Amino acid sequence: MGKRTVSVNDRARQMLAQEAARIIVEQGIQDFGLAKRKAADRLGLSGRGSLPGNSEIQDAVTDHLKIFGRESHFNLLQTLRRAALSAMEILSPFDPRLVGPVLNGTAATNAPVNLHVFSDTPELIALTLDENRLPYKAYERRLKSRRDLAKTFAGYRFLHDDLSIEATVFPVDGMRQAPISPVDGRPMKRADHSAVLKLLESESTGE
């Protein structure tokens, strides 16, 4: 009886993860928690057992894109990564790093390009955007620098090559320690301009 209960719960978690992944990809939702709640409501599983973890959702997103995306997703990633490189060149004085779905390959349609930039004076990023005639909107983002410590960081959202770029500003010494990923609880992966260029070139040649 116990084994059957575990099996049913596991199947429910898998169904929720798959439905949340579909919602993320098709609706462009970035908030995993929101996607999970929407999936639970849609499947009538709200309040029944535990919801799948964020890492399970990300795995399901990867599987969904492999099955249903293929060439269109490859083209989308190429477009987003080229936009990332161009934006990183504009923000080069601030040592930009690409992070998030565009880097790890799970970006869906309408996903923003997420950059981390480094300056002890966030207003300098705004000045650079002004100099390049890129209208922007300021935002704040709360991120965990350790499991038990969260901080609020300034950021600037702007359009470049008709794509949304989000540049979150860290102090210069913040380059040494990436914030904690909400997906797997590990330090976020960051890639500098040369690493993104290498990734783009290797995928273009199929290496």
Q: What is the pLDDT of residues 145-193, one digit of tens each?
A: 776 788 999 999 999 989 999 999 999 999 988 999 877 788 999 999 9
* Total of domains in the chain: 2
Last residue of a domain, one of 69, 101, 122: 69
Do both 79 and 61 map to the same domain?
no
Q: Which helix (H) or strand (E) holds 127?
A: helix 123-131
Helices and strands of the chain, counted as H and E runs: 7, 5
Do both 61 and 35 map to the same domain?
yes
Rounded Cα distance between 207 and 202, Å, is 5
Backbone angles phi, psi at 155, to 5 degrees: -155, 165
Q: What is the pLDDT of residues 3-49, one digit of tens each?
A: 444 556 777 788 888 888 888 777 777 777 788 888 888 888 765 56
Q: Which residues constitute the domain of residue 170?
A: 71-205
Do both 168 and 116 map to the same domain?
yes
Residue 108, CA distances (Å) to 103, 119, 141 in order = 12, 29, 21
Q: Residue for token digits 């983002």?
A: 141
Please measure the distance between the N-terminal and C-terminal CA atoms of the chain and give it in whole angstroms.
49
44-58, 116-130, 164-178, range with the lowest pLDDT: 44-58
What's this model's pTM, rounded to 2 decimal places? 0.77
Do both 41 and 76 map to the same domain?
no
Last residue of a domain, one of 69, 100, 121: 69
Do both 94 and 184 map to the same domain?
yes
